Structure 1
């Protein structure tokens, strides 16, 4: 069981306004994508030995945009269902979920810099495993407040499982070392 921790939770206004709830993760994800230099990220992705079923690089942007928007909408729904409920249990669960949501968003946003920016596949894979666990629990918690919110997180959970497979697969196939990967690909 978790608890609501105000210092680790996004401010209430983020959850209360649907546009803010939806746009915050979309904009934050886009900013991280831009920060990690898309040209370099794409080159690294193409240079890595990939596990079977890996998608082309142009799939990730649209998929993540949709998932970020969906998770933001789930956050809005769960928060508002819980804070307007007459049930104290739902109120507490929605607030606990807000803390979990904030933690998962931070874990989500650090994956790309870990994997592509710093070339740290072990840490990135550990991050995505933690992200999957936190989101599984978040879907359970918010599902008790608003079943639609819980179900809205299922595509995200499925994609995180797939992304975990890709992260671990790339790490394993590249000996858990991405340093100089682009140069090694040119030399091969």
Structure 2
């Protein structure tokens, strides 16, 4: 069982407000996306050797915006349901606080992936990050289902997409010999 760590956990006021809970991950994800220069990221994506089933780069923005919205809504529903003193037991309140900390940690791991993969071009570090993210979110989905069924179902597409993203990260890393450098990309551009 995890521990509630208030110093690193998103404040309850964010989870209590549905709009704030939904908009926070969307805003943070958008900020990280733009900080890695989207046009350069799309060029890098096109130049890397890719595994089968890779989507076009234009899919990622709408997909992640939708997933961030769903994850924020799920967190709002689960954590407010778990913290409701009228309907939740002492264990339920404790579990909701644990879930709030886990949610905050997973959001940090999620936001770290793009700078690791595209910014620093470290596919191994990005793979470690996304595997941890997938494991954490699988457990968090289970916890959300315990607190609110709708919240659990809102997390299912996120876990499915993370599974697919893990496949893509692994495939790109393997097919590019776990190196994504400007030199290698220039060679591929000139081929």
TM-score grouping bracket, smaller chain normalisation: over 0.9
- TM-fit CA distance, 1:182: 2.6
Look up the match of 2:24: 24
The 8 Å contact of residues 71 and 156 in structure 1, kept in 2 or not, is answered as yes
The 8 Å contact of residues 142 and 149 in structure 1, kept in 2 or not, is answered as yes
Look up the match of 2:48: 48
Look up the match of 1:59: 59
Which of 174-183 and 14-23 deviates more? 174-183
C-alpha RMSD of the superposition: 0.8
The 8 Å contact of residues 90 and 144 in structure 1, kept in 2 or not, is answered as no
Which of 173-182 and 97-106 deviates more? 173-182
- TM-fit CA distance, 1:187: 2.5
Aligned residue among 166, 172, 175 for 1:173: 175
Gaps of 5+ in 1: none
In structure 1, the residue corresponding to 2:7 is in which secondary structure?
Answer: helix
In structure 1, the residue corresponding to 2:63 is in which secondary structure?
Answer: helix
Gaps of 5+ in 2: none
Q: Could you give the per-residue CA deviations for residues 21-58 of structure 1, whole angstroms, max 9, x where no partner exists?
A: 00000010000000000011000000000000000000
The 8 Å contact of residues 81 and 88 in structure 2, kept in 1 or not, is answered as no
- TM-fit CA distance, 1:95: 0.8
What is the distance in 1 between the residues matched to 2:187 and 2:93? 54
Look up the match of 1:103: 105
Structure 2-normalised TM-score?
0.96
What is the distance in 1 between the residues matched to 2:60 and 2:173? 18
Structure 1-normalised TM-score?
0.98
Look up the match of 1:185: 188
For 1:150-161, what aligned pairs fall within 5 Å after superposition? Answer: 150-161=152-163
Q: Could you give the per-residue CA deviations for residues 81-123 of structure 1, whole angstroms, max 9, x where no partner exists?
A: 0111331121111110000000000000000000000000000
Look up the match of 1:75: 75
Q: After the TM superposition, which parts of structure 1 deviate over 4 Å for at least 4 consecutive aligned residues?
A: none
In structure 1, the residue corresponding to 2:129 is in which secondary structure?
Answer: helix
- TM-fit CA distance, 1:172: 0.3
